[in-house]
Amino acid sequence: MSAMRLYEIADQYQFLLGSLYDSETGVIDEKVLAKLQALDDPLETKCINITRIFKQIDAERQAIEKERKAMAKREKSLKNQVDGLKNYLLSNMERCSVSEIKCPQFVIRLQKNPVKLDITDESLIPPQYEIMTISLDNEKIKDDLKNGVEIPGARLVQGSSIRIK
């Protein structure tokens, strides 16, 4: 006989729990109780083994995340170096009024960028340039729902999660 899968153990556990008590007398069926107790060990063992598997996977995920952060930090450092060198080159070419430099590998050329907006003081901008935005007050909706207020389009939902200590 092959080992039962966790969902099969859970199904059998639920079935046995449903037939543990005699519905008329309320007396515990000793045979069902013995079967339930026999399921405890495989259920616990399966749960422990599944937890071991996801802890292994999570450790690998954490290692990848750590490396990703280190690589992102390195990438940002390299980008800053490139930007710094470009700005250094730009400012010195502008200072010397040099607009183009040619070499066999590439051409360095100053170019005019498109005009961009620079807001220096937002409070001085006239109201006709403002855009009104509306957003929901999620905390107020949640509080009102908790206090029994019915709000169409909203509901409170409570889920479950696994805690491993």
**Domain extents in the chain:** 6-146
Residue 110's CB: how many other CB atoms inside 10 A?
13
Which has the closest alpha carbon to 42: 89, 2, 98? 2
Is 60 a residue whose pLDDT tops 50?
A: yes
Region 8-30 average pLDDT: 78
Q: Residue 147: pLDDT band by 50, 70, 90 thresholds?
A: very high
Q: Residue 1: pLDDT band by 50, 70, 90 thresholds?
A: very low
d(CA 1, CA 111): 77
Task: Look up residue 129 and give its DSSP letter.
Answer: G
Q: Residue 2: pLDDT band by 50, 70, 90 thresholds?
A: low
Beta strand residue intervals within the chain, DSSP E = 100-102, 107-109
Cβ atoms of 45 and 52 closer than 8 Å:
no
Q: Residue 49: pLDDT band by 50, 70, 90 thresholds?
A: confident
Is 95 a residue whose pLDDT tops 90?
A: yes
**How high is the pLDDT of residue 159?**
86
Angle at 22 between CA 3 and CA 46, to 5 degrees: 20
Of residues 65 and 159, which shows the higher confidence score?
A: 65
Is 156 a residue whose pLDDT tops 80?
A: yes
Is 14 a residue whose pLDDT tops 60?
A: yes
